Amino acid sequence: MKPRYLLVNIMFPCAACLQAQTEVAVAKFKGDRPAAVSYTFDDGLLEHYTELYPRLNEYGIKGTFCVNGKITDRYEQLIAAGDTSDVLVREKPRMTWKMLREMSDAGHEITSHGWAHVNVNRLEGEALRYEVQHNDTVIWKHTGRFPRTYFYPGNAKSPEKVKYCEFGRVGSRVEQVSIGSKRDEAWLRNWVALLIRDRKWGVGMTHGISYGYDHFSDPRILWNHLAYVGSLRDSVWVGTFHDVSAYVKERDAVRLKVRERGDEITVRPSLPLDREIFSEPLTMIVGRVVVSARQDGRNLDVIVRGDSSLIDFNPGGGPVCIKVSGSANK
């Protein structure tokens, strides 16, 4: 079956050139994979660092971890005071800011779950601003990266609060699938298979791994699933919530102006989004064998796949200058 591509608006140079125009499109997901998956972990539990983080690194998977700054601060204060009697320490130990900084530096996403894990539907005015924006500032202070996504405590939200919380971000978690205590390996595999079949993006959510809310009946269920998904690199893009969310919005907003002369194709992207926030590379599909591609003075990586090629480019950058060989697709 011929692969289906997500086509974008393309401006042709003239009607007479229409038959020979090379097909240029933006892939639905990075690398022209049919599906995408993001794994998100709530509440900043300590085992996310001690147990999960090494596994993700082993399988080459980047995860998304949403934290509450107030709870993280409180845990660090209890540890510094040598207090081991508090229920927070005994039952739900948390990651420290140092751990979160290490994970962030390794490419995992550390993002906001609200300052104090308060339902945003119950907040207005200064209380809402503090719950949302103060947590951004604290995460930026401790990790060096400003969070550009938001995860709603208790998954509670309204259209008005989504609009507020998504301002200045690439998105927020408005849909998710629980992958914790109710799931087994067969269910998780089937979930991924359906994403591939339906060409969709799935957002998996859990809290605990071996303790805490909705933890797995056996952590090996998650470890085996991550190993399995890590083996599907040609079929599934496993990206952070930030990266996939940014890609999807850029993909849907970008416009390409294509000019073709002989063995040279010039593609001028136009992205009507804030380029300080939206900077995720997109994958361009060119219906020719590409010899080389350059943008903004640097060479772009090219993957040739049969009679077509894939190029990752900056949708907010300058023209992409492409050299091709062979005859154009009709």
Where is the domain boundary, 218, 233, 248? 233
Query: Is residue 245 included in any domain, yes or no?
Result: no
Quote the CA–CA distance of 206 and 314 in Å, as a whole number.
32
pLDDT of res. 327: 58
- The verdict on 81 and 187 lying in the same domain is yes
Instruction: Provide the angle, in degrees to the nearest 10, between the axes of the packed helices 135-143 and 97-105.
Output: 70
What are the backbone dihedrals phi and psi of residue 183, each rounded to the nearest 5 degrees, phi first? Answer: -110, 155
Q: pLDDT: is 80 or 149 the higher one?
A: 149
The pLDDT score that the predictor gives to residue 5 is 45
Shared domain check, 218 and 275: no
Whether 15 and 138 map to the same domain: the answer is no
The reply to whether 247 falls in a domain is: no
> Is residue 225 domain-shared with residue 96, that is, in the same domain?
yes
pLDDT of residue 78: 84
Q: Hey, what are 322's tokens?
A: 């492409």
Boundaries of domain holding 211: 35-233
Measure the CA–CA gap between 295 and 291, rounded to whole angstroms: 14
- Placement of tokens 């420290």 in the chain: 96
pLDDT given for residue 36 in this prediction: 98
Can you give the CATH number for the domain in which 152 is found?
A: 3.20.20.370
Res 1: pLDDT: 45
Number of domains in the chain: 2
Last residue of a domain, one of 233, 268, 284: 233
pLDDT (mean) for 86-113: 87
Q: Would you say 147 and 111 are in contact if contact means Cβ atoms under 8 Å apart?
A: yes
Residue 191, token pair as written in the block: 């979930």
* Whole-angstrom distance, CA of residue 202 vs CA of residue 254: 22
238: in domain: no
Looking at the structure, tell me whether residues 116 and 196 fall in a common domain: yes
Question: Which pLDDT score is estimated for 212?
Answer: 84
Residues 212 and 134 in one domain: yes
Distance CA 192, CA 189 (A): 5
Q: Across all residues in the chain, what is the average pLDDT?
A: 92
Instruction: Identify whether residues 204 and 274 lie together within a single domain.
Output: no
Q: How confident is the model at residue 99 (pLDDT cuts 50, 70, 90)?
A: very high
Cα atoms in the Cβ-side hemisphere of radius 13 Å centred on 266: 7
Residue 14 has pLDDT above 50, yes or no: no
Question: What percent of the chain is predicted at pLDDT more than 70?
Answer: 90
Does the pTM exceed 0.85? yes
Q: Assign 3-state DSSP to the chain and report helix, strand, coil percentages, each to 5.
A: 35, 25, 40
Answer yes or no: is 240 within a domain.
no
Question: What is the per-residue pLDDT across 173-213, written as a single tens digit (0 to 9) for each?
Answer: 999 999 999 999 999 999 999 999 999 999 999 999 998 88
State the pLDDT at residue 328: 56
Give the pLDDT confidence score for residue 86 in this predicted structure.
59
Q: Name the band, by pLDDT with cuts 50, 70 and 90, for residue 20.
A: low
Does residue 177 belong to any structural domain of this protein? yes
| 87 pLDDT above the threshold of 80 | no
Which CATH number does the domain housing residue 25 bear?
A: 2.60.220
Asked whether residue 300 is assigned to any structural domain, the reply reads yes
Judgement on whether residues 99 and 215 belong to the same structural domain of the protein: yes
Residue 326 is predicted with a pLDDT of 66
Q: Is residue 90 domain-resident?
A: yes
Q: Rounded to whole angstroms, how far apart are CA atoms 132 and 283?
A: 33
Whole-number pLDDT of residue 82: 79
Q: pLDDT confidence of 19, banded at 50, 70, 90?
A: very low
